[in-house]
């Protein structure tokens, strides 16, 4: 079955409940590689990143994302498109190459205007 990478947004005080809801929503057997990151500039804001086996169910405050492993960059497709437009004179060219080393430990999100936001993240220690 195909794995899907999901990102659930929460706050530090709600993290235990959030992780419990992830396992309830998708079943313990279908969830793998759960990692939680805090925003460097706002350690109260947390994202939980995890793989699920092809589930149509989605929790509140959850999006589908992608990961560039070499740089640990997490990004939505809309954010990637906005980033390409930013670096390519406003033109969306799917062959445009991103220098992922500039986005080490970054979460790339798009806003309602389809602008790219870069958020520095750090993995929570166990």
Residues facing residue 36 across a β-bridge: 48
DSSP state letter for 54: S
Least reliable range by pLDDT among 40-44, 52-56, 71-75, 88-92: 52-56
Domain ranges of the chain: 3-123
Please count the residues of the chain. Answer: 126
Q: How many Å apart are CA 104 and CA 117, to the nearest integer?
A: 14
At 72, is the pLDDT very low, low, confident or very high (cuts 50, 70, 90)?
A: very high
Rounded mean pLDDT, 5-34: 93
At 53, is the pLDDT very low, low, confident or very high (cuts 50, 70, 90)?
A: confident
* pLDDT tens-digit readout, 31-45: 999 999 999 999 999
pTM of the model: 0.89
pLDDT at 126 (0 to 100):
60
Q: CA nearest 45: which of 107, 100, 114, 104?
A: 107
At 57, is the pLDDT very low, low, confident or very high (cuts 50, 70, 90)?
A: confident
Q: How many Å apart are CA 36 and CA 47, to the nearest integer?
A: 6
pLDDT at 1 (0 to 100):
65
């Amino acid at each position: 079955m195909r794995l899907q990478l999901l990102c659930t947004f929460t706050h530090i005080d709600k993290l235990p409940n959030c992780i419990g809801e992830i396992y309830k929503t998708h079943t313990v057997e279908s969830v793998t590689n759960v990692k939680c990151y805090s925003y460097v500039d706002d350690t109260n804001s947390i994202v939980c990143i995890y793989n699920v086996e092809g589930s149509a169910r989605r929790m509140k405050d959850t999006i589908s994302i992608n990961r560039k492993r070499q740089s640990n960059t997490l990004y939505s497709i809309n954010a990637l498109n906005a980033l390409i437009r930013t670096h390519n004179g406003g033109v969306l060219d799917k062959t445009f190459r991103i220098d992922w080393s500039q986005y080490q430990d970054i979460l790339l999100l798009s806003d309602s205007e389809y602008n790219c936001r870069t958020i520095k993240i750090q993995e929570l220690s166990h």
